[in-house]
Amino acid sequence: MAKLKIGICGWGNVATGLYEQLTNGNELYSDWEISCIGARRDNPRCNPGSVKILRDIFDVVKEDVDILIELIGGVETARDLISEALNSGKHVVTANKAVIFEHGEELIKLARKNNVRLLFESAVCAGTPTIKMLSNDLSANKISKVAGMLNGTTNFILSNMQEGASYADVLKEAQDNGYAEPDPTLDVNGTDAAHKIGILSALAFNTGLPSPEFYIEGIEEIKSQDFIYAEDFNFTIKHLAVAKLSTGGIELRSHPVMLDINSSLAGLKGVRNGIQFDTDLLGAFHVAGSGAGRESTASGLISDLHALSKSNEVSPMNYPDFSNKPNILNFNDLTFKFYVYLEVKDEPGVLALISKTFADHNISFDKVIQKDQLQNGSVPLVIFTDPTIESEMQIALEGLADHPEVLNSKIIRIEDL
Ligand SMILES: NC(=O)c1ccc[n+]([C@@H]2O[C@H](COP(=O)([O-])OP(=O)(O)OC[C@H]3O[C@@H](n4cnc5c(N)ncnc54)[C@H](OP(=O)(O)O)[C@@H]3O)[C@@H](O)[C@H]2O)c1
């Protein structure tokens, strides 16, 4: 069989990692040859040997290649590049969750129109099998919930904070080790995980991709002290992205949660990603593995190349029904159990004020603990609530903020897995 010809666009971390795998002489990779690389500059990390280098990535589309691999990241230039490649009759493989989340529907329609494929296994959890597994292997199941720790940087930071490190120190360590981007904003603010859960939601529930206006919160406000309070009650803190089928629509959210310390996702440390799928036939089904890095991402990209090598007979993945628009439920109407942290003045009547404010909003307490006085003289109160409607909690906290006795407040939602 003739080898499939590949053009790689971008010459950064993932692209050079893929090149190193595909050229290491492993006979597993003998179905493809790298014809050219679109690299606007050299990368001292990797010498591409005699492979043709094109300084304009769009020139890769004009070359005689069967598959274009988009590894530039970002949204609009990537969209233009992928569109040109699909319109030129080339298959496209990408690791770019942002472009799939923002423009996946349009790009998949373009692929169909041109009778080529667009595959994106490594856009979610890098090489840990997720996309094709969900679209193909779980297709006999009705999925009711997908809950995932989908960002390696966030999990690296939180699992080190669990061991006592501070947020600032561990973020710096993640950057020094190359786990976090120089600008880690989209990782730590929950957006990267939100893109990924949006893609998984469409695949799990057979809908179009959701618009980005769902609830997204990052880990910036989590403090080491929260882990100590959480552990007192057998919880730990993770960043979770959730898509859940509920009456009337889909719950979609990306935010920090407290998880039972014995739940399967709670035990995943470092840059590992993990997902729990709740299904009718398999029950709760888990995948976990490396969610970032050169080798892991190369694994996902090469699995897409394999799928394309065999796709003359079979479609490599089932795309969702984009005409089925997802109805995303209003986050304010959802119900959670909450961890509430309050710093209050050490004065008589404060506890009564808090109890009354919460009672006025139908919020009842499962547990209330007063902790030791802080250096500034204030007292931390830790409250675990019974199930409470999100909007009621928000209004109660706004009400408390009007009282000078309440100095500080924070909530973390509790997730049952
Ligand atoms: N890193 C991971 O572990 C991982 C895991 C899963 C998925 N991904 C995804 O893989 C993709 C690539 O990530 P990466 O970590 O390899 O990023 P990276 O190291 O920043 O590499 C990006 C490459 O694309 C080039 N590039 C960017 N914009 C360009 C443009 N407009 N024209 C020409 N070249 C352009 C960059 O060139 P310059 O160097 O000149 O800027 C660089 O060579 C992203 O979509 C990312 O989300 C990454």
pLDDT at 375: 84
* Ligand 1 center–CA 101 separation, angstroms: 17
Q: What is the mean pLDDT of residues 326-345?
A: 97
**CATH architecture of the domain with range 131-290:** 2-Layer Sandwich (3.30)
Q: Does position 40 have pLDDT exceeding 90, yes or no? A: yes
Supply angle C-alpha 200, 116, 49, rounded to 5.
95
* Ligand 1 site, CB within 6 A: 10-15, 40-41, 57, 71-74, 77, 95-96, 122, 126, 292-293, 297
Nearest to 196 by CA among 144, 257, 287, 131: 131
DSSP track, 261-318: TTSTGGG--TTEEEEEEEESSS-EEEEEEE-SSHHHHHHHHHHHHHHHHTTTTS-S-P
Q: Does position 314 have pLDDT exceeding 70, yes or no? A: no
Q: Is the dihedral of CA 185, 189, 192, 195 positive or negative?
A: negative
196 is catalytic: yes
pLDDT at 312: 62
pLDDT band at 301 (very low <50, low <70, confident <90, very high): very high
pLDDT digits (tens, 9 = 90+) for 245-278: 999 999 999 999 999 999 999 999 998 999 999 9
Nearest CA to ligand 1 atom 28: 72
Percent of the chain scoring above 70 in pLDDT: 98
pLDDT digits (tens, 9 = 90+) for 24-39: 989 889 889 999 999 9
Helix, strand, or coil here: 354?
A: helix
pLDDT digits (tens, 9 = 90+) for 196-224: 999 999 999 999 999 999 999 999 999 99
pLDDT at 298: 96
Helix, strand, or coil here: 187?
A: helix
Q: Does position 313 have pLDDT exceeding 60, yes or no? A: no
Q: What is d(CA 3, CA 108) in angstroms, rounded to the nearest whole number?
A: 25
How far separated are the first and last CA of the chain, in Å rounded? Answer: 47
Q: What is the mean pLDDT of residues 57-80?
A: 97
Selected from 3.90.10.10, 3.40.50.720, 3.60.15.10, 1.25.60.10, the CATH number assigned to the domain covering 4-119 reads 3.40.50.720
Longest dimension (CA), the chain: 82
| Domain edges within the chain | 4-119, 131-290, 333-414
Cβ 294 vs Cβ 24: under 8 Å:
no
Selected from 1.10.8.60, 1.10.3720.10, 3.90.550.10, 3.30.70.260, the CATH number assigned to the domain covering 333-414 reads 3.30.70.260
Q: What is the mean pLDDT of residues 391-411?
A: 96
Q: What is d(CA 103, CA 113) in angstroms, rounded to the nearest whole number?
A: 16
